[in-house]
Amino acid sequence: MEEISLAPPRGMRDFYPEDMVLRNRVFDAWRAAAVAHGFEHYDACVVESLALLKRKAGEEVENQVYAFQDKSGRDLALRAEMTPTLARMVAARQGSLQFPVKWFCIAQCFRYERMTKGRKREHYQLNLDIVGEEGVSAEAEVLAAAVGALRRMGVPDEAYRVRLSSRALLSELLAKLGIAERFHAGAFLALDKKGKIPREEIEAIMKEEGLDDEACRKAFDLMDVSSLDEAAAIAGPDSPAVAHLRDLFALLGLYGLGGQVVFDISVVRGLSYYTGVVFEAFDTKGEFRAIFGGGRYDNLLTTVGGKPTPAVGLGFGDVVVGELLKSLGLDRAAARPDLVCVGYMQPEQRDAATRLAAKLRADGRAVDLRLRAQKAKAFFAHAAERGTHAVFLGPDDIARGTARMKDLATRTETEIALA
Ligand code: HAM
C-alpha cells in the first residue's frame, strides 16, 4: 500500500486548534469591519465552471487554476479569486437587485502558485465589493472598511500604507506619449511586473504586445513619476483621471485616511479587468507582500453577460496579514474566552458532574466536561491549560450537595449548589 503522508499537500494548510486563534482573530476583524461599513454577507461554492474563470489576457492567475472534470465530463475549477463569481451572481439577479449593492464574503481561494513568502496555494480572502456606483465614494468606502479591519486587529496606522493609482490615468499618460490605446492593456500587465522580474523580460512582454523600443522606454519612464502633481503636469489641465483622483484623496481625508493612502503610479495590479483606480496595501517596513489589493472594474459584468455596471472592490488575504500580526506581536487572542472545566474524582460522581454541566450549559456557559474520572492534579493541570473556571467533584461534595467553582485567574472560589 502506498504510504500516506501526514502533511497536507504542498501549499495547503491545516489549522490545528492553536492555529485557529490567529485565524479567528483575522476573520472576526474582517466580519466586524465589513458589517460596520454596511456590507452584506454573501457566499458561493468553491467550485466554478472553468469557462467563467478562463481568460486569455496573459494574466498569471490564468495558469494557476486548479481545473478538473467531474464524472459527467463538466470542466470545473476551484476558484482562484471571488470576483468572477461575484460578477456572475450579480448578473444573474441584475433585474431585481437594488443598486448599489455592498457585499462581502470570506472566500477560500486556490492558486497553483510558485511557493514564496506570503504565497500559498490556498488562502482565505475577505472580499469587499460595491457594484452599481461609479463615483469615488465607492472606492473610499471599500478602503475605509479594509483599513477598519486592520485597526480592529490592532495594527497601528503607521505600520502600513495603501498605495493607490489609476489605470485611467496611466492610459491618459500613455496616450499623451503617443502610445495607442490598443497597447495599453498589455502595457499594464507588463508594468505590473516591475520590481518582480528583470526589466529585459518586461520589455520582451511589451514587445510581444506590439510596443516598440521607444514606447517601452516611455512606459518605463512613467513609472518614475513621483507625485500626482507631476502626473497632472503630463496629463494636462483637463484630465478626468487626475480630477477623479484629487476628488478621491479629498474624500479619503474626510474618512481620516489622508495619512494612510498615498499616490503611487507604479501600482498597476496584475488582473486584467481593472479599469480605473487600483490600489495595494503594504507594510511600511517593506517586509511582506501586499496585504490587500483591489480597484475599479467597470466592464466585468458585461464580460460575464450582464448589463454594463460600474464596480469597485478588493481582496484581503489571511496569509500576509497573519505574518504582519506575528511580527507585531498581535497574533495572540486578547482574552481567553469563558470556559468552565468540570471534572470528577471517581466514576460515582459522573452523573452529578454531568447534571452540573448540563445546568451550566443551559445557563449559557461554555463547559468542558471531562469524559472520565481523574486525579485532582491531572484535572487542574488540564483546567489551567484550557479553562477560565474549574469545578472538581469528589464524594464529599456530593454528600454536602454543593461544590466550589474556582476562578483560575483570580484563584477565588464560589460555592454552587448541585441540586
Ligand atoms: P489579488 O491581488 O490577486 O486580487 O489578491 C488579493 C489579496 O489576496 C492579496 O493582496 C493577498 O493578500 C491575497 N493573496 C492572493 N493570492 C494569494 C496566495 N497565493 N497566497 C496568499 N495570499 C494571497 C484579487 O484576488 C481580486 N479578485 C481582488 C478584488 C476583489 N478586486 C475586486 N474585488
> What pLDDT digit, counting tens, does each position of 377-415 carry?
999 999 999 999 999 999 999 999 999 999 999 999 999
pLDDT at 169 > cutoff 90: yes
Q: What pLDDT, on a 0 to 100 scale, did the predictor assign at position 251?
A: 98
Q: Grid coordinates in use for 221?
A: 519612464
For residue 64, the ligand 1 atom closest to its alpha carbon is 19
Q: How far apart are CA 153 and CA 36, in angstroms?
A: 14
Q: Measured from the CB, is residue 83 less than 6 Å from ligand 1? A: yes
Class of domain 339-417: alpha beta
Q: How far apart are CA 297 and CA 306, in angstroms?
A: 13
Residues with Cβ within 8 Å of 213's Cβ and at least 6 positions away in sequence, in order, are none
Over residues 105-139, the pLDDT tens digits come to 999 999 999 888 999 999 999 999 999 999 999 99
pLDDT at 334 > cutoff 80: no
pLDDT at 309 > cutoff 90: yes
Strand partners, 261: 162
Q: Whose CA is nearest to atom 16 of ligand 1?
A: 119
pLDDT at 57 > cutoff 90: no
| Cα-to-centroid distance, 260 and ligand 1 (Å) | 20
Q: Measured from the CB, is residue 218 less than 6 Å from ligand 1? A: no
> Contact, 208 vs 190, CB < 8 A?
no
| Cα-to-centroid distance, 148 and ligand 1 (Å) | 18
Average pLDDT, the chain: 95
pLDDT band at residue 60 using 50, 70 and 90 as cut-offs: confident
Choosing from 89, 125, 128 the residue with most ligand 1 atoms within 8 A of its CB, the one to mutate for a pocket test is 125
Task: Calculate mean pLDDT across residues 82-90.
Answer: 97
Q: Whose CA is nearest to atom 13 of ligand 1?
A: 317
Over residues 189-222, the pLDDT tens digits come to 888 988 888 989 988 888 888 888 888 888 888 9
Choosing from 55, 90, 123, 273 the residue with most ligand 1 atoms within 8 A of its CB, the one to mutate for a pocket test is 123
Over residues 370-382, the pLDDT tens digits come to 999 999 999 999 9
Lowest-confidence region among 129-138, 146-155, 195-204, 317-326 = 195-204
Task: Calculate mean pLDDT across residues 53-65.
Answer: 84
Classify domain 17-44+79-327 by CATH architecture: 2-Layer Sandwich (3.30)
Ranges of each domain in the chain: 17-44+79-327, 339-417
Residues with Cβ within 8 Å of 204's Cβ and at least 6 positions away in sequence, in order, are none
pLDDT band at residue 419 using 50, 70 and 90 as cut-offs: confident
Q: Which residue has the cell 495547503?
A: 12
Q: Measured from the CB, is residue 127 less than 6 Å from ligand 1? A: yes
Q: Measured from the CB, is residue 167 less than 6 Å from ligand 1? A: no
Q: What pLDDT, on a 0 to 100 scale, did the predictor assign at position 379?
A: 98
**Maximum CA pair distance of the chain?**
94
Choosing from 60, 61, 65, 81 the residue with most ligand 1 atoms within 8 A of its CB, the one to mutate for a pocket test is 81
Q: How far apart are CA 322 and CA 339, in angstroms?
A: 26
* Residue of 340, 339, 358, 355 lying closest to 398 (CA atoms): 355
